Amino acid sequence: MDEDVAEATSPDPAGKLSPRVVERLAAVDGRSPLEVVVEMQPVAVPSTGSRASRVEAVKAGFERELAGVAERIAAVGGQVLETAWINQTVRSSIPAAELVRVAEDDAVAAIDLPRPLEPDAGLPD
């Protein structure tokens, strides 16, 4: 493949950072750790097999993809805090200046700040 075409079609890693992350980056020192949620590319769900075997296949696929991303997070001085195979996310603490290096991994779909859970407005207290 022509190098210019490859560069034109490959996603910009900085484009994987949410607007909230970009805003936070502008306000912190590059060495400051940021708690972020790394959203992974979705793992394919098998179309055949029992529900349990399909769930296990998704978990295994997530763990395979997670291994490389976790290595990259550690290599830039970050730390994996928590993982969730069900929504394919990795809560991490990563030095602000290194977020783009983590976003360069093809298994990473996006990087965002954690969002607090809020009750639905229609539910009674």
Give the model confidence (pLDDT) of 6-24 as tens digits: 343 447 999 999 999 999 9
List pLDDT tens digits, range 49-59. Answer: 999 999 999 99
Q: Cα Rg for the chain, rounded, in angstroms?
A: 17
Percent of the chain with pLDDT over 70: 88
Return the exposure string of 71-92: e unless at least 16 CB atoms fall within 10 Å of the residue's CB, then b.
ebbeeeebebeebebeebbbeb
* Contact call for residues 19 and 68 (beta carbons, < 8 A): no
Full-model pTM:
0.83
- Cβ neighbours around 101 below 10 Å, total: 16
- What is the reported pLDDT for 54? 92
* Contact call for residues 62 and 88 (beta carbons, < 8 A): yes
Total H helices, total E strands in the chain: 4, 4
Mean pLDDT of the chain: 88
Distance between CA atoms of residues 113 and 22, nearest Å: 10
Architecture in CATH of 30-112: 2-Layer Sandwich (3.30)
Q: In 3D, which of 69, 109, 60, 64 has the Cα closest to residue 92?
A: 69
Structural domain spans, the chain: 30-112
